[in-house]
């Protein structure tokens, strides 16, 4: 599966395990390898020195090491203290508990994972699978979603019984799984009883736009802020959640909408249920002036929020077509300034 792994581990007991084996059997691209071996640290360092990349500890608690070999390719080396069958018994689902011996290609499949692949079935390795790592609750649904598989009756029952545990994993791990779900995946999460404990609901416009960030906002709303989201996603979510549909397709209404929602106006239209106004937003973007009619330092008033207010009014009137020249802008600015001047 990886000749480079075979080259450095040819004389040692080592196995390729987990998702790499599963994806290889399914004919899916294999980007990341998980190698169970006796000395993960030394093997990772040796691999990095021989083939390039950076070796670093992935989990000090479990003794796992990772080599970031390429931008989209990693190799994880995990301990193998008690033999391969003990390692596989600690894994989540039977089709992830298949191992291929490095060098010989011998297959170890003690839980019948290959049969599950053919049956398109997700089956827990043990009854404690979700208690041992509650993130597996989300992973089970995500794998259903990505692979088109289905949990067997026993595994789904275990997931339902363990649903209250779904909030226990670190927020970063939860977010990583949630971002990979499609609309159908979120609906399945709801069906199994895992969405509500996470603070999610399906009464938003979850299927209005095919985008992972959009789905997160539509499903979790304000609750999304409790997860460790990026500042960019936080701004995106705030913009969509505060958006109001334009009153009409007039230039003035579209300008006001864009002022509140750019650079995500199209997404905001989908969120508020007004996708028919996308053409008006696109036309407004194309007609956007390259330069303002006047600058703030030309107004002749002291610095402060009043300058921003006046410039915003000028921009809106220009978009609405009531003014078009610098003279118009100065005339409007004087009118606004005199209106706000103290008596």
pLDDT beyond 60 at 20: yes
Distance CA 173, CA 192 (A): 19
Distance CA 188, CA 144 (A): 9
Q: Which of 25-34, 87-96, 192-201 has the lowest mean pLDDT?
A: 25-34
40 alpha carbon, distance to own chain's centre: 30
Indicate the SS3 state at residue 72: coil
Domain 1-119 sits in CATH at 3.30.460.10
- 309 CB-near residues (< 8 Å, 6+ apart): 336
pLDDT at 63: 86
CB atoms within 10 A of CB 308: 10
For residue 263, is the peptide bond before it cis, meaning its omega torsion is within 30 degrees of 0?
yes
DSSP annotation of 93 reads: B
pLDDT beyond 60 at 340: no
Q: Are 162 and 197 in contact (CB under 8 A)?
A: no
DSSP annotation of 246 reads: -
Q: Delimit the domains of the chain by residue range.
A: 1-119, 121-229, 243-286, 296-340
Of 28-32, 49-53, 166-170, where does the model show the most confidence? 166-170
pLDDT beyond 90 at 60: no
pLDDT at 69: 74
Phi, psi of 167, deg, nearest 5:
-85, -5
Q: Model confidence at 52, in pLDDT bands (50, 70, 90)?
A: confident
pLDDT at 315: 94
Is CATH 1.10.3090.10 correct for 121-229?
A: yes
Structure tokens at 276: 């028919």
Q: Are 15 and 80 in contact (CB under 8 A)?
A: yes
pLDDT beyond 60 at 341: no
pLDDT beyond 50 at 343: no
Indicate the SS3 state at residue 260: helix
Average pLDDT over residues 53-78: 83
Q: Are 9 and 105 in contact (CB under 8 A)?
A: no
Average pLDDT over residues 261-265: 97
Through-space distance between the first and last CA atoms of the chain, rounded to whole angstroms:
82
Indicate the SS3 state at residue 318: helix
Hunting for tokens 């691209």 — which residue is that? 29
Indicate the SS3 state at residue 288: coil
CB burial of residue 123 (10 Å; 0-12, 13-18, 19+): buried
CB burial of residue 262 (10 Å; 0-12, 13-18, 19+): middle
177 alpha carbon, distance to own chain's centre: 7
CA dist 258 → 116, 237, 253, 287 (Å): 51, 16, 9, 13
Structure tokens at 129: 């699978």
Q: Are 175 and 229 in contact (CB under 8 A)?
A: yes
**Matching CATH topology for 1-119 and 121-229?**
no
Q: What is the pLDDT of residues 106-136, one digit of tens each?
A: 999 999 999 999 999 999 999 999 999 999 9
CA atoms within 13 A on the CB side of 137: 31
pLDDT beyond 80 at 1: no
Q: What is the pLDDT of residues 300-328, one digit of tens each?
A: 888 889 999 999 999 999 999 999 999 99
Q: What is the pLDDT of residues 269-279, one digit of tens each?
A: 999 999 999 99
């Amino acid at each position: 599966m990886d000749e480079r792994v075979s080259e450095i581990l040819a004389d040692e007991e080592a196995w390729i395990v987990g998702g790499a084996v599963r994806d290889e059997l399914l004919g899916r691209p294999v980007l990341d390898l998980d190698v169970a071996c006796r000395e993960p640290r030394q093997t990772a360092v040796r691999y990095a020195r021989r083939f390039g990349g950076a070796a670093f500890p992935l989990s000090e608690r479990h003794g796992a090491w990772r080599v970031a070999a390429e931008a989209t390719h990693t190799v994880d080396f995990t301990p193998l203290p008690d033999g391969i069958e003990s390692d596989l018994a600690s894994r989540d689902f039977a089709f992830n508990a298949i191992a291929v011996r490095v060098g010989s290609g011998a297959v170890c499949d003690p839980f019948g994972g290959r049969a599950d692949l053919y049956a398109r079935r997700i089956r827990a390795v043990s009854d404690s699978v979700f208690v041992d790592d509650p993130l597996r609750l989300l992973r089970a649904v995500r794998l259903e979603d990505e692979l088109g598989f289905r949990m067997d009756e026993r595994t789904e029952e275990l997931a339902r019984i363990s649903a209250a545990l779904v909030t226990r994993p670190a927020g970063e791990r939860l977010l990583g799984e949630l971002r990979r779900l499609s609309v159908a995946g979120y609906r399945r999460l709801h069906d199994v009883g895992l969405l509500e404990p996470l603070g999610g609901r399906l009464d938003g416009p979850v299927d209005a736009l095919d985008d992972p960030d959009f789905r997160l906002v539509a499903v979790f709303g304000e609750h999304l802020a409790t997860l460790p989201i990026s500042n960019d996603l936080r701004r995106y979510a705030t913009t969509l959640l505060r958006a109001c549909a334009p009153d009409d397709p007039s230039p003035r209404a579209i300008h006001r909408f864009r002022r509140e929602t750019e650079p995500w106006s199209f997404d905001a239209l989908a969120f508020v249920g007004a996708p028919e106004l996308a053409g008006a937003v696109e036309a407004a973007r194309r007609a956007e002036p390259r330069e303002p009619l006047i600058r703030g330092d030309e107004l002749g008033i002291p610095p402060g929020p009043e300058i921003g207010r006046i410039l915003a009014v000028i921009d809106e009137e220009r978009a609405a077509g009531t003014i078009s020249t610098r003279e118009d802008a100065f005339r409007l600015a004087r009118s606004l300034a005199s209106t706000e001047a103290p008596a």
